[in-house]
Amino acid sequence: MTVVSASVAKTWYFAEGYIGGTFQTILTLANPGTVPATVTFTYSLDQGGGSVAHTVTVAANSRYSEDVNHWVHTLKGNSVGYGVATTILSNQPIVAERPMYFTYVRNGQNTRGGGRHAYHRSVPDHRSPRRN
Inside any domain, residue 132: no
Domain region containing 90 = 9-112
Inside any domain, residue 121: no
Backbone angles phi, psi at 122, to 5 degrees: -100, 125
Backbone angles phi, psi at 88, to 5 degrees: -120, 125
Q: What span, in angstroms and rounded, lies between the C-alpha atoms of 105 and 7?
A: 31
Amino acid at 113: G
Question: How many CB atoms within 10 Å of residue 65?
Answer: 9
Inside any domain, residue 1: no
- The per-residue pLDDT for 82 is 92
Label residue 122 by pLDDT band (50, 70, 90). Answer: very low
- The per-residue pLDDT for 107 is 53
Tell me the per-residue pLDDT of 39-62, one tens digit each, with 9 for 90 and over.
Answer: 999 999 998 889 999 999 999 999
Q: What span, in angstroms and rounded, lies between the C-alpha atoms of 117 and 108?
A: 24
